[in-house]
Chains A and B, each alone.
Chain A
């Protein structure tokens, strides 16, 4: 009986008290620049990210209007004409770090990240490699991947087509802290 109780406690312990790491100031950048034209890039510094360490599940979410461009008018056009941010305010990612294990993170820091990116209500499967680093309290998550405007049915008018890259590079840099 004692053994069973102990076992139960152990199972409870791992599932109920599974740790989560969290941030609401994650940096998500994208670049869609073409050489010799105005750089098209923006930074979102308010991405919220939640990682469940027991399973490696990771979810992230950001507001399109929080992308900051160097040129204000570019930002306005991004929201108004391309992303339709009023209708689709958020982009979300729901995925998993394959074989993630927090206790062996010192030895293995690169994990396959698989998940579904949803922008403008359209979902696309993403597979890439994420690097993770653990400090005393923080967990630093970094990853890169690219998408195309076509993936999310973003129309680009003919006159600006040359100035916007076919492939949009997205980089993620999240410093997560233990969530209480």
Chain B
């Protein structure tokens, strides 16, 4: 009996280190899981197409955005598929602090000056499934002519957009974004729109499908809830590819809006398909 007991004991003792050996990695695993780790970013560029993505440049990074939107493709050879009527936007974005990006831009559409603020609220991590970013922009239309609008107030030149950008990277290849948006238009030209809608609410949907490490397909659609059914304007959409080459991202896309400023394309997408591109360069 005694022998059996000793034997059993020895067996137990001898097997213990074996068990412990496997446990060491498992034990470590359990300890590691509790560390906070952020998931990689959902989008490569600050924009999906026209819509802002949840990406914010890192502290000290200066980004130059050059965007072109050509004229309607349907004009055919007369305008060389819109190449004669290009709208250009040049934008500089800089992050003074981590997670806060400021930008200024000038677009030839309505000779618009714009500034924008983008700030990180939550980052997708092993503790929280979404990235949430706030975005706010002010546009100044400098094309409005007082000869055409004798009662024009300085404030009429302003339009605003405020957006909450909510994204999730579902897998290595697939990311989605929702963008509840509020747009304020100080000026409503009743020659163009049937009824004044100064405050407009919209919801943007965007997504990315990575085809390879450096290429992805992007698409977005923005539904404007406040647009009357007899409005001459449409819901904006864009689809295209992102091609990343180290310090540059090239975004080649088709869209139905001439402007890439949020208050303009959310409210006034013309509806005709145009070709365009964004070139992003980081310094």
By the criterion of a CB under 8 Å from any partner CB, how many residues of chain B are at the interface? Answer: 35
Partner of B32, one of A8, A20, A24: A24
Docked complex Cα distance between A85 and B41 (Å): 11
Instruction: Give Cα distance in the complex from A130 to B28, angstroms.
Output: 20
| Interface set of A (CB-CB < 8 Å, partner B) | 1, 4, 8, 11-12, 15-16, 18, 20, 22, 24, 46, 48-50, 52, 55, 57, 59-61, 63, 65-66, 71-73, 75-77, 79-81, 84-87, 89-90, 92, 94, 159-160
Task: Return chain A residues, CB-CB under 8 Å to B29.
Answer: 61
The answer on a CB contact under 8 Å between B32 and A72 is no
Interchain CB contact under 8 A, B25 and A63 = no
Cross-chain pairs A/B with CB under 8 angstroms, 17 sampled: A1-B2, A8-B13, A15-B13, A15-B16, A49-B28, A50-B24, A52-B24, A55-B17, A73-B247, A73-B282, A77-B246, A79-B40, A80-B41, A81-B214, A81-B244, A86-B40, A89-B37
Knowing A73-B282, A86-B169, say if A24 contacts B13 (CB, 8 Å). Answer: no
Known contacts A48-B28, A52-B24, A57-B21, A86 near B61 by CB under 8 Å: no
A72 touching B20 by the CB < 8 A rule? no
Per-position 1/0 for B54-87, Cβ under 8 A of A: 0001110100000000000000000000000000
* B residues in contact with A159, CB < 8 Å: 246
A174 to chain B, nearest CB (A): 13
Measured between alpha carbons, how far is A79 from B40 in the docked complex, in Å? 7
Q: C-beta contact mask, B4-25 vs A, less than 8 Å → 1, else 0?
A: 0010010001001100110011
Please measure, in the bound complex, the distance between the C-alpha atom of A21 and the C-alpha atom of B139, giving whole angstroms: 59
Looking at chain B's contact residues, is the secondary structure mostly helix, strand, loop, or mixed? Answer: mixed
Kindly list chain A residues whose C-beta atoms are within 8 Å of the C-beta of B244: 81
| Other A-B pairs, 6, CB within 8 Å; known A55-B21, A61-B29 | A24-B35, A46-B35, A71-B58, A80-B41, A86-B39, A92-B25
Residues of B within 8 A of A85 (CB): 40
Q: Are A48 and B32 in contact (CB under 8 A)?
A: yes
